Chains A and B, each alone.
Chain A
């Protein structure tokens, strides 16, 4: 029972914390020259896998971690353990997920912000005597909160059934619910199978509880803000937002610190080291390269095909909706990221076994596609639907057929957005753990499954090698996407209507 309550608490609190932080960051950056820098860095920052953030925090801030050791070095003796971040605890999970989800909510706010007259509302608010930060909370937040329901649900559903980081940094007693459920799902006894069935049901009930939580939270907050608006009372927390002007610098620094920490560990650093006593050596990389090649090639192969197919199906879905003028609600398209992954993939595994299907990368690619599709849809829907129709109208007046126009105008104008979608889909696939593990039944290994397997042991140095590779693959994808996007002329105008 305590496993269920702590999981529910984590799944509610971490995404909500991230949402509030993201809103305060957004309010501090949106109408400021810093906004462009943030928009530029948002996608690569978003691509850093959850696992890398989670383990990175542990490598940095837990007792024996880099920052902790540096602090001990400064004060001259070992700092007390309570000062460090626990290696496995609910607090560590909350911190890791809430820090990691902030860029995701910023991406959502950035898209929402383009459709709302925020600047005018703020101006009106200020002309009526409210400060800018009070206007953000009283006038903008209620609307953004309502429109962020799906994003909030996606983050909560992810947290509810995330397995890899629950195993590695989640508490042991009680273990988080995803870990317990996974143990039942993979158990051989009939009692385990019965528990797995009931456990999946309970997971759905927990999801329903979270949905109720989202609505209840929204109702309470909107009521409170409405009362403040009616009473012309600015919020006391409004001033707190100013602290978040430093967020971009902080998050960039944290990202670099995480990557540097993994690099140092992979080159010989350990928790007993001092900078002068380390024997720097690439030996670990040379040794591991032999074992890493297979998982690395699998990761690249699966991510390459699942991202291309995910983006292609997204284009098809958007095109079909446009042609039929029948638009399905977003939650249908985003179902894969709104439902708990653990239950969904368990269902797929049963179907996979019933079909007596093989354990090949093709099946893994198939199971990654719903996720690469959902994220591509999130990224591409806005640019696709807001593309200026006049371009195609002009082409039609020149005698181009529908498909000629589609390919020569629409597709070409969408290229920068398509590149971003491909990079995001690629990084989503690289970070997938549950579908790869469950459908591959351990026979198909990727960088992520290997990283989790090694990190479950005590080999921090080897873990660092795999974490670094897992974190760097999405960065490479974003780098390639950004270099290619810069070579496309007129791209900015086409995607920023």
Chain B
């Protein structure tokens, strides 16, 4: 379970006091609000990135472990951005292998070798009928394919939570609807709690929680 409590975001001009957030496994929270209100800043703070243009405080707990003192790489939180940043020098399979935990083991408890890791990555792709892009590089994929591969790569890392910063905003409306529906199903099936920043308030899945930052935004009188 992902818990974020007593979270305050502030700059010299405004302040936001967020309500406490509780996300069970597989649950999705959609964060909306006008530009410049700190949505992405909030995500990066949860991720563990250094925040420069705002002050943020609060407590983050994932499965009852406090994350505040942990660096990004220790938090087990995945990230999916609008540009999913598939690494351009690695093909799709290698991108997924890069995300597979180094400790991944086979059924006999042996560490996977190079070929087994590639097979594992291919199985993940085949599950979504995208095995045909395995040898492709990022620039050879369409926007929708890139988003799907990005999510598969993020999930291959076995994150305990996922953060998504307008991950489907660059897609055309029809593809966006298809891919986002598919993505939410994947997250739900795998039991990964997720927070998604979005501008599209008409496309929030009915089962998702919704947090509109504008409701909690207060200007600071100068």
Contacts and interface: CB of A to CB of B under 8 A. Distances in A.
B72 interface: yes
Given A123-B72, A227-B114, A230-B114, A129 B90 contact: no
Interface residues of B, number: 33
Given A128-B157, A230-B117, A123 B97 contact: no
A443 interface: no
Contact of A120 (B78, B81, B100): B81
A222 to B, nearest CB: 7
Interface string B64-79: 0000000111101111
Contact of A232 (B49, B77, B78, B97): B97
B79 A143 contact: no
A72 interface: no
Nearest to B97: A230
A197 interface: no
A229 B94 contact: yes
A226 B94 contact: yes
A348 interface: no
A230 B94 contact: yes
B101 interface: yes
Contact of B98 (A126, A146, A230): A230
Contacts of B48: 126
A232 to B, nearest CB: 4
B14 interface: no
A129 B73 contact: yes
A117 B73 contact: no
A120 B72 CA distance: 13
B118 interface: yes
Nearest to A222: B89
A138 B85 contact: no
A157 B6 CA distance: 61
Nearest to B94: A230
Of A124, A126, A142, most buried by chain B (CB within 10 Å of CB) is: A124
Contacts of B77: 127
B87 A127 contact: no
Contacts of B76: 129
B212 to A, nearest CB: 26
Nearest to B93: A230
B152 interface: no
B94 A129 contact: no
Given A127-B78, A128-B98, A129-B101, A121 B85 contact: yes
A328 interface: no
A363 interface: no
Contacts of A123: 47, 49, 72, 79
A127 B114 contact: no
A1 B169 CA distance: 63
Contact of B85 (A124, A131, A142): A124
A227 B73 CA distance: 21
A143 B73 CA distance: 22
A143 B89 contact: yes
A259 to B, nearest CB: 38
A127 B89 contact: no
Of A117, A126, A142, most buried by chain B (CB within 10 Å of CB) is: A126
Contact of B87 (A139, A146, A227, A232): A139
B72 A231 contact: no
A233 interface: yes
Nearest to A127: B79
A476 to B, nearest CB: 38
A227 B117 CA distance: 11
Nearest to A138: B98
Of B76, B87, B88, most buried by chain A (CB within 10 Å of CB) is: B87
A128 B104 CA distance: 14
Interface in A258-290: none
B17 interface: no
A20 interface: no
Interface of B: 47-49, 71-74, 76-79, 81, 83, 85, 87-90, 94, 97-102, 104, 114, 117-118, 153-154, 157, 159
The 4 A-B pairs with the shortest beta carbon distances in the complex, nearest first, are A232-B102, A126-B72, A127-B79, A230-B97
Given A142-B89, A229-B97, A231-B97, 17 more contacts: A117-B83, A126-B71, A127-B159, A128-B78, A128-B153, A129-B74, A129-B76, A131-B73, A226-B89, A226-B94, A227-B114, A229-B94, A230-B98, A230-B114, A230-B118, A231-B117, A233-B102
30 contacts: A117-B83, A117-B85, A120-B81, A120-B85, A123-B79, A126-B73, A127-B79, A127-B154, A127-B157, A127-B159, A128-B78, A129-B76, A130-B73, A143-B88, A143-B89, A226-B89, A226-B94, A227-B114, A229-B90, A229-B94, A229-B97, A230-B98, A230-B118, A231-B97, A231-B102, A231-B114, A232-B101, A232-B104, A232-B117, A233-B102
